[in-house]
Structure 1
Amino acid sequence: MGQSVSIAAPRLKKPSWKDPRLLIGLLLVLGSIAGVIVLVGSADRTTQVYTAREDIAVGQVVTEADLSIVKVRLDDVESSYVTVEHGLAEGRVALQRVAKDQLVPQQSLGVADALDRKPVAIAMEEELPAQAVPGARVDVWIAMPGSNRAFEEPQMLLPSAEIAGITTGSSTFGSAKTTVVMVLVADEQMPKLLGALANKANVSVVWNPAGVVQ
């Protein structure tokens, strides 16, 4: 009879906590979990900020009733906007126009004394282009009264003035439509415009598509 040969199978050893391969694997798993937690946490770093419920005009007193709350991710520019966490100070007025649904910048609000532009109503019978809306820019021209019921040569008084608002109505006798354009005027320009209006100058408002000061 042949001799039977038996081969002993190697016995598996139970892993030990001291096994470096086990420790490395555990560190990799923990590192992966930590990375996922950081990624999810950073993706959820949203801030509650205020947006304009409707258009906010320059000089308007702004309260929480004029605002809505949204969650957005601002990261490094968070300090540039009005957040719910820091709240809205009382008695703030709009120093610049804020369009509907736009985030409210910190620099757009301040005290009334900081207003360097004020709205002045200019009535005109000419129609403005559809693009001339609040926030758009217009050039204001004046022609002072001259002799023989004529007017002097027109001169540009206000280049690229911002429109604060527009209303349309009828003249006193209802025979013609009148458009009243609220134009924002700087304090140093105010005397010339008010003087022209008081002296019954011919005032024309022209849409400036470039929207820049000339």
Structure 2
Amino acid sequence: MHVSSLGKTVTSTPPVATRVTRAGWRDPRLWIGLLIVAGSVVLGARLLAAADDAVPVWAVVDDHGVGAPIGADDVVAVRVRFADDAELDRYLPADDPLPADIVLSRGIGGGELLPRAAIDTAQDVGTVEVPVDLEPGRVPPTVDAGSVVDVWVGGGRDTGAEPDLFHVTVVAAPPVEESFAVTGTRQLVLAIDPADVGTFLAELDGKDDPVVRIVRVP
């Protein structure tokens, strides 16, 4: 109570204190929050468990054809989940070193897993290695061991005959500088199907002025 400037007595009412009410265990918002946290923990655990099921296996980096040698530089380890152990056994695990001196018994595309059924030794792969000396300008600089190429064999510009085409794999390709310094040409070793070897050599030896050109298959 106090006296105003006009001489009147004014009675003041003190403000009512507001109390903060704490959320009890019956508050549904608390249970919803707990459910969200629990769900996140369960989901995270399942994701981690699924990641642990993946195993590393070897995959080839680039395209390789029949007879191509496969070494450590040609593969990369990738993690894959398999449905069962039988499916996993079809491929080479990256936990183990890559077997030495292996070649492909069939073509494998870049990024594909390396199956056990697609590897063999050079003696058993079923192709014949044929060396060919070529002018450096007739070989793309990107051609290397493992490249799949088309070999065009023509008889020169004046023959008018259509060139013969052979689809083969390069199994060895010395560096341009090394090969050219010795012979003035670049040598490639080609893996050719035994059924095509006779025709291939006959085309090279039977033309007076054979022209051989390498075209890399994309």
Cα 1:182/1:97, change in 2 over 3 Å: farther
For the pair 1:138 / 2:150, whether they are aligned, the reply is yes
Deviation at 1:96, TM superposition (A): 5.3
Deviations, residues 159-186 of structure 1 (Å, cap 9, x unaligned): 4434333332467xxxx61222222322
For the pair 1:178 / 2:185, whether they are aligned, the reply is yes
Deviations, residues 37-76 of structure 1 (Å, cap 9, x unaligned): 22344456653233679x98854676xxx43796533346
Q: Which residue of 2 aligns with 1:95?
A: 105
Q: Which residue, out of 92, 116, 121, partners 1:82?
A: 92
Q: Which residue of 2 aligns with 1:205?
A: 212
Find the residue that maps to 1:191 and give its secondary structure. helix
TM norm structure 1? 0.56
Larger mean CA deviation between 186-195 and 120-129 belongs to 120-129
Q: Which residue of 2 aligns with 1:49?
A: 57
Distance in structure 2 (CA, Å) of the matches to 1:37 and 1:197 = 65
Cα 1:109/1:86, change in 2 over 3 Å: farther
Give the unaligned 5+ runs of structure 2.
1-15
Cα 1:138/1:190, change in 2 over 3 Å: same
Deviation at 1:35, TM superposition (A): 1.6
Cα 1:202/1:193, change in 2 over 3 Å: farther
Q: Which residue of 1 aligns with 2:4?
A: none
Distance in structure 2 (CA, Å) of the matches to 1:121 and 1:201 = 19
Would you say the 8 A contact 2:67–2:191 is kept in 1? no
Find the residue that maps to 1:82 and give its secondary structure. coil
- How large is the Cα RMSD of the aligned pairs? 5.2
Write the letter of the residue equivalent to 1:111: D
Distance in structure 2 (CA, Å) of the matches to 1:38 and 1:85 = 24
Find the residue that maps to 1:38 and give its secondary structure. helix
Identity value in percent: 17
Q: Which residue, out of 58, 61, 72, partners 1:67?
A: 72
Find the residue that maps to 2:137 and give its secondary structure. coil
Q: Which residue of 2 aligns with 1:4?
A: none
Distance in structure 1 (CA, Å) of the matches to 2:135 and 2:23 = 95
Q: Which residue of 2 aligns with 1:148?
A: none
Write the letter of the residue equivalent to 1:67: A
Larger mean CA deviation between 181-190 and 90-99 belongs to 90-99
Matched pairs, number? 191
Distance in structure 1 (CA, Å) of the matches to 2:33 and 2:208 = 86
